[in-house]
A and B are shown apart, each in its own frame.
Chain A
Amino acid sequence: MAESTEIQKFKVVGTRPIRPDGIDKVTGRARYGADYAFPGMLHGKVLRSPHAHARIKSIDIAKALKLPGIKAIVTAADLAPLPENKTEAVGEAAMNPRYLSLNILAREKVLYDGHAIAAVAATSPHIAEEALRLIEVEYEVLPPVMTVERAMEPGAPILIPELRNPESGDNPTNVAMHLPVKKGDPDAGFKSADFIVEREFHTAMVHQGYIEPHNAVGIYNSDGHATIYCSTQGSFDVRSMSAKVLGIEVGKLKVVPAEIGGGFGGKTTIYLEPLSVLLSQKTGHPVKLVMSRSEVLRASGPTSGSTIRVKMGATRDGKIVAAKVWMAYEAGAFPGSPVTAGAMTILAPYVIENVQIDAYDVVVNRPKTAAYRAPGATNAAFAAETVIDELAEKCGIDPLEMRIRNAAHEGTPHPFGPPYKRIGFVETCEAIRNSAHYKSKLTGANRGRGVAAGFWFNAGMQSSATVNIHTDGTASVVTGSPDIGGSRASMAMIAAEVLGLAFEDVRPLVADTDSIGHTDVTGGSRVTFATGMAVYQAAQDAVNQLKERAAKLMDKKPAEIEFHDGVFAATGNGAKPMKIKELAGRLARAGGPVTGRANVNARGAAPAFAATCVDVEVDPDTGKVQILRCTVAQDAGRAIHPSYVEGQMQGGTAQGIGWALNEEYVYDAKGVLRNTGLLDYRMPTCLDLPAIDAIIVEVPNPTHPLGVRGVGEVSIVPPPAALANAIYRAVGVRMTELPMSPPRLLKAILAARHEPRLAAVN
């Protein structure tokens, strides 16, 4: 609540100023990674495997090297020796440097269609492309393993010969991890249930779909230092990961974050960055690499497809008494799917006493998955929120009421963690229940309304900020968090609030890895929370220093100076109050310049909840779903810039809708990706979506000075289940497979028509 935050009345927070980087972005001046050019710059391209699973017998680059204009070719032999096989936490994901290196350039084996094998640098991108065709690679093709079911079968072909898990003993396996979790007595719980629903769900592998392909410009200096310009969510992670793969010291790499054209988690790892440095080292020129769209789809991102079985039981009054979950996520070619997060989130909005979850991380011959907005949670919520909907129906309870009756709140235990602090799940559900949308009546044939909820942890982690006071009393705020959706504006607003300045008087800046202290990724919904906390503290630090200076000029003790609304005043008699602008002009005679500084390892990240309500109309003859109306409510804690909070909610909802209705990776029998363009990997267009009403709920996070929780991710979680539930009410079929594309939905509708038991439900 309001009293938990340090500032009681806001002047800047909660307003909607124009973002400071906006003009550059509407005039074409903003420089994204691919826009950088340097004198003498060469262009690189990457050779990729046409096979899903194969042994590399030989690579012959002799012919390619003879092509006029070719300057260098690198293969895995040019990388540092394989780093240790050890998992480290990086951002929201686990990172194993050995697998990271093997994903940058394959050695011995290729593990997916699109796996990088070699990189070339040439005087033009066209020549580089020609050279790729001249590189001769001899393969021994192996059988591909494309699904978790196949990968987990005894005797399935093995992707990574050295992979083991504690249950596999000395036997090779494709199961990188089994996470079993148990609480209470699920079997006894099910015995006490009046209704039990058990279903199996399948979700397709999907891509983050950022419009800007991956890019990197590497410039190697002969003194061993190198600079990388690239569009990334985490410049410090690019630096540490690239250093690992290249076998050089972190301090010898500088990463300059360019403007970034979307990421959604997909730009928290590296692909081209070390290659740009290696090619620059070999040629002595800056080298730029930019992926094509088909490379983006074949070899970057995506997030896991999954198989999830959920069994849930409830008593007649709607209390959920037991849940059993079995979930297996595709990791892609190397371990590290977000299945742990899936397991931790799937039941998190609810209080359920008896729970058993078995989660499996499974390698398959698909690209190594990367984080995607609330990684792992959307797959999981599709399954759980559909089953809860079905239970609500059996109990004869409104689906939102069902959720509220079982809702977690302050003091109730998280299924696998300490009790929740103040959370806003009930408030979020209530916001939907009280919305004009939910109160409206939906009529018409083949129309239905669905609701679903979602949970995401939100992250804290490390951030740094400095606040420089200029001689005219304006300020700049410097952070290391790449601005992916308007965060510069929020950072400037927070600094302005603390300094008592107008928003326009604070200029925000995103610095490179040598110019600001370590800062973790722009991800995990953490920038406004954690970097915002650093900015808040840095601005406070500046205020404290300014108080000391004011004290000097006023001939008082610092403790006697009070600061309100941009004015420094001494308690008691005498000295004339000074505005920050006046004081700033006199700093040269009061001790010199002032820079506020803060480095945080932010604790107290607080969970976010979202709830989504959708109305659909289904064409029963084609299976096409038209969304008529869509409302999303989300607990932001505190909305610093409400427009960009709404934007996150609307954008996440749109991605959830795409995941639900259209998007999927389509592989053929040989494991080759068939939809490598944006015509066939079909993301929602303007015409596919309705207006999306965003209701911001503010249940302040008590551990943040401004009450911020973070807003970037959770809105993607509910839409697939909300749509499945709406489709059920429209045409009477329970969809258990994503995407619910027209062919799949039509098949289900036709099956229901010939099956009297199911058809009767309609």
Chain B
Amino acid sequence: MSKKIQVEATINGEPADFLCEPRQSLLETLRDVLELTGSKEGCLTGDCGACSVLVDGRVVCSCLMLGVEAQGRDIVTVEGLADGSRLHPLQQTFLEDASLQCGICTPGFLMSAKALLDRNPDPSEAEIRYALAGNLCRCTGYDKIVRAVQDAAKSISGGARGA
């Protein structure tokens, strides 16, 4: 067994200080050490995107990053998306548009979509499909996911949506 290493990072806006093994991925660290199980494991090879989190604002497959690499980083997971009990517009439109069936891919899609809207508040359908191409969904055929991102973009630019 390898010796644990102390890591300091910001997780969902709060300073976090934790121990993890050098071989543990960020995904494993989030799920097993920090008990943030919202990020899901679908493949462990970076192909499905179910473990997507934001690291310093960029979408990262947390299964492809080590927990120790979180040192000094700002990490946002699906658990940090809502503002208290007020849902993020993406969470709201995913619900209203019935964009999830089983829901296992949803956390990853939400994080990828958030990263897209943060840098491009008014994306075209093609831009949305391109930005989400790293996330696999097997239930929906993506149609309602794309619509939810379009609706969230409208709601954010309209600025009026509440939860």
Contacts and interface: CB of A to CB of B under 8 A. Distances in A.
Interface of A: 16, 18-19, 21-23, 25-32, 34-35, 37, 68-69, 124, 126-127, 208-213, 259-264, 290, 292-293, 484-486, 641, 643-644, 646-648, 650-651, 653-655, 677-679, 683-687, 689, 691-692
Q: Tell which of B48, B110, B125 has the most Cβ of chain A within 10 Å.
A: B48
Interface string B35-61: 111111111110110100000000000
B72 interface: no
A263 B50 CA distance: 16
Given A32-B40, A262-B138, A677-B45, A26 B87 contact: yes
A724 B46 CA distance: 32
B42 A213 contact: yes
B117 interface: no
Contacts of B48: 211, 293, 678
Given A211-B42, A486-B101, A678-B47, 15 more contacts: A23-B95, A26-B87, A28-B39, A211-B48, A211-B50, A259-B104, A261-B40, A263-B102, A484-B102, A647-B101, A647-B139, A648-B101, A677-B47, A679-B45, A686-B133
Given A19-B95, A68-B1, A677 B145 contact: no
A553 to B, nearest CB: 39
A459 to B, nearest CB: 19
Nearest to A68: B1
A644 B98 contact: yes
Given A68-B1, A209-B138, A686-B135, A261 B44 contact: no
Given A26-B94, A28-B36, A212-B104, A687 B138 contact: no
Interface in B7-51: 21, 23, 31-32, 35-45, 47-48, 50
Interface of B: 1, 21, 23, 31-32, 35-45, 47-48, 50, 77-79, 81-82, 87, 91, 94-98, 100-107, 110, 125, 128-130, 132-146
A35 B1 CA distance: 24
A126 B104 contact: no
Nearest to A715: B141
B4 to A, nearest CB: 12
Contact of B43 (A19, A21, A485, A677): A677
Contacts of A643: 97-98, 144
18 contacts: A22-B94, A25-B103, A26-B110, A28-B77, A29-B38, A30-B103, A34-B41, A208-B138, A261-B103, A293-B44, A651-B101, A654-B138, A654-B142, A677-B47, A678-B48, A685-B133, A685-B135, A692-B143
Contact of A651 (B38, B41, B44, B140): B140
A592 B92 CA distance: 40
A654 B140 CA distance: 8
Contacts of A264: 138
A653 to B, nearest CB: 6
Contacts of B39: 28
Contacts of B42: 211-213, 261, 293, 678
Nearest to A124: B1
A210 B102 contact: yes
A19 B101 CA distance: 10
B106 to A, nearest CB: 6
Contacts of B132: 685-686
Contact of A25 (B31, B106, B138, B143): B106
Contacts of A691: 125, 143, 146
Contacts of A486: 98, 101
Contacts of A686: 128-129, 132-133, 135, 137, 142, 145-146
A22 B95 contact: yes
Contacts of A689: 141-143
A35 B128 CA distance: 30
A650 B140 contact: yes
